[in-house]
Amino acid sequence: MKLLLDTHALVWWWTDDRRLPSQARAAIAHPDSTVYVSSASMWEIATKYRLGKWPEVGSLLDKFDATMRRSRFIPLPVSMEHARLAGGLDHPHRDPFDRMLAAQARHDGSALVSGDAVFPELGVDILWNDPRPLLRT
């Protein structure tokens, strides 16, 4: 299975946060899964840390590359096609990180591991399987 991790799913995986549902955990850990992490997630983590909106991710910034390698996640750069698709999504959602992740998942045919309710509205297949309501942004 081809997976793209939303930023909160990535952080929750690395911090073993209970908010990441067991179904998502199993899919990420499955040996047949190919797990991608967008460069937009690094951008989002760094931005939210700098703004003081997510102070607990500071320790992840310094060891991001090493943790990526240890996790065997594949970095997904933002391509020109990703950027074009993200900018052209006909939806009022304005979060640039979400728009990029949606574009990358759609373009590359990945399921997005996310609890964010906006992604199905953006035409993205999500993998979450949690009985609790999806995250609201």
Q: What is the pLDDT of residue 130?
A: 60
**Confidence tier at 103 by pLDDT (50, 70, 90):** very high
pTM to 2 decimals?
A: 0.91
Instruction: Convert the pLDDT of each residue in 104-135 to its tens digit.
Output: 999 999 999 999 988 888 889 999 966 554 55
Q: What is the pLDDT of residue 94?
A: 86
Contacts of 4 (CB under 8 A, 6+ apart): 35, 36, 37, 38, 76, 101, 104, 105, 108, 110, 111, 112, 113
Is 96 exposed, middle or buried, given 0-12, 13-18 or 19+ CB atoms closer than 10 A?
middle
Enumerate domains of the chain plus CATH numbers.
2-127 (3.40.50.1010)
